[in-house]
Chain A
Amino acid sequence: MPALDILAAAVLNGLMTGAIYALIAVGLTLVYGVLHIINFAHGAMLSAAMFAAFLCFQIGIDPYLAIAPLAVAFFGAGYGLQRWLIGPASHGDDRNILLVTLGLSIIIENLLLASFRSDTRTIDVPYGFSSLDLGFTFLPLTRLMGFGVACLVAAMFWLILNWTDLGKAIRAVAREKLGATLVGIDVRHIYAVTFGLGAASVAIAACLLLPIFYVNPRVGNAYVLVAFTIVVLGGMGSVAGAFIGGLLIGVVESLSGMYFGESLGQLGIFLIFIVVLMVRPTGLFGARA
């Protein structure tokens, strides 16, 4: 049994990473909840966003300062993709949307491979070694920033969805498309906004990940695989579930990394995944339908 302070440090570290997982999962679950599809391009979009943040860093823009412009740019790109490419190409058939996003992910990945090769890159931020001394452990500043911003953004998503007209329209479309249409909500616009929010969530996550981890053209997929388990765990389409699930998975990964060794950190994720789904097939926050 490791000492309590080591355990606490592992939990804290898990929460730090988990919050960023949560942010990626929030975008994925939102798109699922409204458009009823798994966006297969989510991972490729994350890789693209990390390269965008990487390029920003090369021209002297700090990743944390790149958050706002990249979020806006990715929102716009996501909106446009859904409105003028995915939507029209799918002819309203969910299976087609799935295929279009799959195709999109292949295109994005190959564009990234062509432009950046498959090399793995990292950036060195000047504050890379700063950390907060908690007495029993040190929390790196970059992880702390990741945690703080991810929580803030998730809270903003939640506020938008629950307290704004736009958010209510999004929820209305998600659960009752005909009813939403008949009150005059423009469903295609809402779909595009939702896809844009999903894209913005990976753009923000990318800026938070880059100072901590590395980037290569396929790196997004690893995160999205974890995010997908979080989405299922939290209840498909539940934003709150994705957030709590993300934190939980971060902690589980960190703890199981400690017990089973770093390379088996993800083992715990899938154990938890299976156990939760056996007890609650609709996930932690899923509707019991």
Chain B
Amino acid sequence: MPETAPLLAIRDVHAGYDGTRILNGLSMQVEAGEIVALLGSNGVGKTTLNKVLSGVVPLTSGAITFDGLDLGSASAVDIVEAGLIHVPEGRKIFADMSVLDNLTLGSYRRGKASRKTNLERVFAIFPRLKERTAQMAGTLSGGEQQMLAIGRGLMAEPRLLILDEPSLGLSPLLVEELFDLIERLNASGLTILLVEQNVAQSLDIADKAHVLAEGRIALSGTGRALADDPELQKTYLGL
């Protein structure tokens, strides 16, 4: 098989917050069409990596390319325009705006013409949101807010969707539905980088998985291989 460039390539990335270094030589790749799970104990730097990828936290050194775009020199706006979309931990929806405004803002960098088709697609996935277009986002239930956060991300026409702890605060039934949804989105061609605490379920749907520890990838493999790895839970996830 011919070598094709990965959709996202992260090489020897160092980054952190003034003074404290969080990522220390992290390298990993995401191939187009995959679900890649990123695991690691609390505070290890998963969200930090996501923020680096979306241009919110600057790189100290290293290189990241997304489909040919050099993220080291790209702005957060460029990154959204290129289709790398980050659905953040804690949702970060616009609480004092309507569901419809939240979704519309998701397409902020897309043409007005494509908004309508994007909306229809999102409403087909989340009929609940369609019933509540006029409701203030802050008054939605936790599960609905998560749907809105993902819906807003889909409105941006992602090519790579980063989901940072999407199952946080959801009931087991909703978590089940969420993982089904992630698989369906992936089956429709969307590449997904998934950060999760539900290790078993994530490994179950992931093509590849990486474990972050001490600022770099400590363990990688297919979802299945890591699921069977006894080291994983004991050593790296602090379970």
Contacts and interface: CB of A to CB of B under 8 A. Distances in A.
22 contacts: A165-B108, A168-B97, A168-B101, A169-B105, A172-B105, A175-B95, A176-B94, A176-B95, A178-B88, A179-B94, A180-B94, A181-B55, A182-B80, A182-B85, A182-B92, A183-B108, A183-B152, A184-B81, A184-B109, A185-B77, A185-B105, A186-B76
A210 B108 CA distance: 41
Contact of B94 (A172, A181, A184): A172
B191 interface: no
A218 interface: no
Given A168-B105, A176-B92, A183 B97 contact: no
B176 interface: no
Contacts of B87: 182
B21 to A, nearest CB: 19
Nearest to A179: B92
Given A168-B104, A184-B108, 7 more contacts: A171-B96, A172-B105, A181-B56, A182-B86, A183-B105, A184-B156, A185-B108
A182 B53 CA distance: 11
Interface in A46-74: none
B54 to A, nearest CB: 6
Contacts, number: 64
B106 interface: yes
Give the secondary structure class of B's interface: loop
B38 interface: no
Given A165-B108, A169-B105, A178-B56, A184 B92 contact: no
Interface residues of B, number: 27
The 4 closest A-B pairs by CB, nearest first: A184-B80, A179-B92, A184-B109, A183-B108
Given A168-B104, A169-B108, A178-B88, A183 B95 contact: no
A180 B80 CA distance: 11
A167 to B, nearest CB: 10
A184 B76 contact: yes
B205 interface: no
A135 to B, nearest CB: 45
A176 B102 CA distance: 11
Contacts of B104: 165, 168
B35 interface: no
Interface in B103-130: 104-106, 108-109
A164 to B, nearest CB: 11
Interface in A122-154: none
Q: For chain A, which range describes its interface: under 10, 10 to 19, 20 to 34, or 35 or more residues?
A: 10 to 19
B93 interface: yes
B70 to A, nearest CB: 18
B75 to A, nearest CB: 8
A183 B109 contact: yes
A142 to B, nearest CB: 38
Contacts of A172: 94, 97, 105
A2 to B, nearest CB: 43
Contacts of B156: 183-184
Interface in B39-96: 54-56, 75-77, 80-81, 85-88, 91-96
A186 B93 contact: no
Contacts of B152: 183
A183 B80 contact: yes
Contacts of A176: 92-95
Contacts of A165: 104, 108
Nearest to B112: A165
A171 B76 contact: no
A214 to B, nearest CB: 41
A183 B101 CA distance: 12
Interface in B183-207: none
A176 B88 CA distance: 12
Interface string A157-200: 00000000100110110011011111111100000000000000
A162 to B, nearest CB: 10
Contact of A184 (B77, B91, B95, B96): B77
Contacts of A179: 88, 91-94
Interface string B143-178: 000000000100010000000000000000000000
B191 to A, nearest CB: 17
Given A168-B97, A169-B108, A176-B93, A186 B85 contact: no
A169 B104 CA distance: 10
A178 B92 contact: yes
A179 B145 CA distance: 13
Nearest to A181: B76
Contact of A182 (B76, B95, B101): B76
A287 to B, nearest CB: 8
B106 A183 contact: yes
Contacts of B94: 171-172, 175-176, 179-180
> A168, A169, A179, A183: which has the most chain B beta carbons within 10 Å?
A183
